[in-house]
Amino acid sequence: MEKMLVSPSPQIRDNISTSKVMTHVLVALCPALAMSAYVFGGRALMLTGFCMITALIWERLCNLIMKRPDSTKDVSALVTGMLLAFNLPVTMPYWQAAIGTFVAIVIVKQLFGGLGQNFANPAIVGRIVLMLAFTGNMTHWVVPFYDPDNIVTGATPLAAAHSAPADYLDLFLGKVGGCLGEVSAAALLIGGIYLIMMKIISVHTPLAFIGTVFVFSYLCGEDGIYQILAGGVMLGAFFMATDYVTTPVTKTGKVIFGIGCGIITCVIRFFGSYPEGVSFSILLMNILTPYIDMITKTKPLGAITKKKEAKSE
């Protein structure tokens, strides 16, 4: 008889793994991908695929150079690649997109120690770097259903909020200009609801984020619904502000995080010089996350806190 296996309890584990979580996120992003392919044509799919593949290549190269175990199987690189692609305009040159995934995977994630150790959302930083480096290309918005031979550009609905506001229904369904993944609020909502139902993300962050944008916009005299549907709020709230690694762990922390994101987004949109503030808001809140975690520790059942101890003495 072979030797018996002895291991510490528990002997059973839930049927979930990091790669499964990431695969669920990929699935949840698919409706938005389909919508962007419908609105912007085949290049949307090509660009997304390109970002995913380059992200995977950077990840594997890092593993090899840093002599770390293969981390491509956890699917997180694919999610980062897809999210970054969703933040790009459809006309973005491929080589610039590759720089974006390089920044995201190599600089933000692997150099900090790989998945779980990065302090900021890789896709967000990738987008911000591209935005600062290639501002022209990153703000080159084509109109929906464009003719590749005769590209007509237009303003994003957010930039045109006051001059030529888009129709609510067009905004909701995605018949507007903008980044690949941001256009259709409906598709993102479907993906977000899928993630919540699969218990991959909790409802706290998106609700706090979107709710704050609505309320803050209303208080500033802006159109709250328009502010939610246009731009990156939906993508950010459901897919970027819910990234496990770079956001608080407790429910209270998640609510604080969402409210913070909402406020910063609105402040940048209404008072800053950029038309869009979602990525900056998430990055800023990422930086605050360790502090939010510090002040939102859970209270163990029946635990005696310092104050009570002092009293009883």
Binding site for other proteins (CB under 8 A): 1-2, 4-18, 20-21, 74, 113-117, 244-245, 247, 249-251, 297-304
Q: Which residues of 256-292 are buried (b: 16+ CB within 10 A; e: fewer)?
A: bbbbbbbbbbbebbeeeeebbbbbbbbbbbbeebeeb
Measured CA angle at 215 (ends 219, 221), to 5 deg: 30
Q: Shortest approach of other proteins to residue 301 CB, angstroms?
A: 5
Query: Do 258 and 241 contact (CB within 8 A), yes or no?
Result: yes
Q: Which of 233, 172, 190 is nearest to 30 (CA)?
A: 190
Nearer to other proteins, 10 or 136 (CB): 10
Measured CA distances, 36 to 143, 154, 249 (Å): 12, 16, 32
Q: Which residue has the tokens 């072979």?
A: 2
Q: Least distance from C-beta 282 to other proteins, angstroms?
A: 15
**Considering beta carbons, is residue 15 or 163 the nearer one to other proteins?**
15
Q: What distance in Å separates the CA atoms of residue 171 and residue 160, rounded to the nearest whole number?
A: 12
Closer Cβ to other proteins, 140 or 251, answer by number: 251
In Å, how far from its chain's centre is CA 74? Answer: 18
Identity of residue 122: P
Least Å from the CB of residue 38 to other proteins: 33
Q: Which is nearer to other proteins, 11 or 273 (CB)?
A: 11
With a CB cutoff of 8 Å and minimum separation 6, the contacts of 239 are 25, 28, 29, 83, 86, 188, 191, 192
Residue closer to other proteins by CB (options 114, 262) is 114
Based on CB atoms, which residue is closest to other proteins, 5 or 132? 5
Q: What's the min distance (Å) between Cβ of 87 and other proteins?
A: 21
Least Å distance, CB 220 to other proteins, is 33
To the nearest whole angstrom, how small is the minimum distance from the Cβ of residue 162 to other proteins? 40
